[in-house]
Amino acid sequence: MKLWQKKISVSKHVEKFTIGKDREMDFLLAEHDVIGSMAHAKMLAHAGLLKKKSAQKLHRELLHIHKKIKQGKFRIEKGTEDVHSQVEFLLTKKLGDVGKQIHTARSRNDQVLLDIVLFTRAEFKNIVQLAGELFDVLIHLSEKHKKKLLPGYTHLQIAMPSSFGLWFGAYAESLKEDTEFLNSVFSIINKNPLGSAAGYGTSLPIKRKITTQLLGFEGMNHNSVYAQMTRGRTEKLSATAMASVASTLSKLAIDICLFMNQNFGFISFPEKLTTGSSIMPHKKNPDVFELIRGKCNRLQTIPQQLTAVTGNLPSGYHRDFQLLKEIYFPAFQELKDCLTMTAFMLQQIQVRDNILKDEKYKHLFSVDAVNELVKQGMPFRDAYKKVGEEIVSGKFSVPKHIKYTHEGSIGNLCNEEIKSEMRKTLNLFGRKFRKVQLAELRLLK
């Protein structure tokens, strides 16, 4: 069944090609399509475009469909084009002409726009929650191992002393800023496109503020042409925020792969969390982190993939947009999996003690030796030259007393400040999403 079908049948070849993977992808939108239809029906009744009793019948049947979705009993039947067609078909089958009224003053264009926004904001909640859980693991590890020193590197050459506290804390702060990014994008996309119809509004006297309130949006996409322009834009903004999280995870993963290498030997994991070789019995491979690295590198390409599909399209709707689902929807599950596995693995990380006692790391303290001379009154450039000469002549010795006190250094990690900023972001996002949840719960009564 097709909502736009007239008397002439479309070629089966054309039908198969144009539907593509829509039916498969649309299962992810089913719950959101029903909730959007509930709000739309209530608005139609408020606007006098639907009788109150008809709106009540539609609401009851939509609740029934929603229950089937939650129970895993909802199906897009063979011959039905997409989830929107299936929901309307079920309403019409049960309610007759009343079911046919659900699409009044609505196009599949603004219907799909709405579903994608509802889907995205629900997925953002899951990602922010998982990011918060990983953040807690990283902060805990930073505090637990803050006194254990670690070589710092630039150009992959030993540079200056670092610590496990500084290393774990760096990724905690990176994740904190990723969460701020997600929160900002959430505010941008959490706008109501419903009522823009096919992009040019409708001559029917609808009340868009009602659906905006019913669905817990922060506002609406005011201009109907712009509302349609958010197709592709919503996906790109959201994918860019997800790519930021993926970038943090990917960089952490490559660090872990390096630090597990026997030439570094800074960390290890229980053997049950690593994999072996079919030929080399000694191997303990970091496959989990190699896959996290690969998956997160792939996630970082998604904004570019979306741009490749939409970059040269004029305003208005185009069927090209359908292809975005195949790129966009699976990204959420992949990122959630990577966040979950990173937290799971890090909870069992084993950190080595006394790494810097190895003679090969003594030059890490060259800057500290320079700074000791500076504190004694020697100009920095002279001190730099003196220590450099000592290194070349083999006379360099590690300073006996080294102390880092400034904010963000080995001796002052600022973890409490980072935690406070993360809490503010999580609380802000929590308030936004509670508004969304309350709105949806009211619709589901």
- Which of 103, 122, 146 is the C-terminal boundary of a domain? 103
Same domain, 31 and 128: no
The pLDDT averaged over each successive group of 10 residues in the chain (445 residues) is 52 60 82 98 98 98 97 90 93 97 96 97 98 98 97 96 98 98 98 97 98 98 97 98 98 98 95 85 89 98 97 93 95 98 97 95 95 96 96 92 92 97 98 97 94
- DSSP state at residue 192: E
Same domain, 119 and 169: yes
Catalytic residue among 155, 282, 401, 406: 155
Active site residue 54: no
CA distance 359 to 356: 8
Catalytic residue among 64, 184, 222, 277: 277
| CATH number where 56 lies | 1.10.275.10
Does 76 reside within a domain?
Answer: yes
Same domain, 128 and 251: yes
- Which of 54, 69, 103 is the C-terminal boundary of a domain? 103
Look up residue 237 and give its amino acid: L
Does 191 reside within a domain?
Answer: yes
Same domain, 116 and 161: yes
Q: What is the total count of domains within the chain?
A: 2
CA distance 20 to 109: 17
Same domain, 93 and 117: no
Residue 201 is encoded by which pair of tokens?
Answer: 């509004």
Same domain, 82 and 128: no
Q: Which domain holds residue 180?
A: 108-206+220-357+414-443
Q: Are 158 and 403 in contact (CB under 8 A)?
A: no
Does 389 reside within a domain?
Answer: no
Look up residue 396 and give its amino acid: F
Q: What are phi and psi of 358, to 5 degrees?
A: -65, 135
Same domain, 267 and 243: yes
Tally of residues, the chain: 445
| Whole-number Cα distances in Å, 203 to 44, 49, 104, 228, 295 | 13, 12, 11, 17, 47
Same domain, 288 and 148: yes
| CATH number where 113 lies | 1.20.200.10
Closest CA to 184 of 115, 240, 113, 110: 240
Does 409 reside within a domain?
Answer: no
Does 307 reside within a domain?
Answer: yes
Q: Give the per-residue pLDDT at 4.
A: 42
Q: What is the pTM of this model?
A: 0.93
Does 367 reside within a domain?
Answer: no
Same domain, 285 and 202: yes
Does 213 reside within a domain?
Answer: no
Active site residue 155: yes
Same domain, 137 and 228: yes
Does 426 reside within a domain?
Answer: yes
Same domain, 49 and 191: no
Residue in the structure block whose two tokens are 């970091």 = 286
- Which of 103, 127, 156 is the C-terminal boundary of a domain? 103
The 3-state DSSP class for residue 291 equals: helix
| Whole-number Cα distances in Å, 113 to 97, 195, 215, 438 | 26, 11, 14, 21
Residue 445 is encoded by which pair of tokens?
Answer: 């009564």
Q: Give the per-residue pLDDT at 81.
A: 83
Same domain, 132 and 247: yes
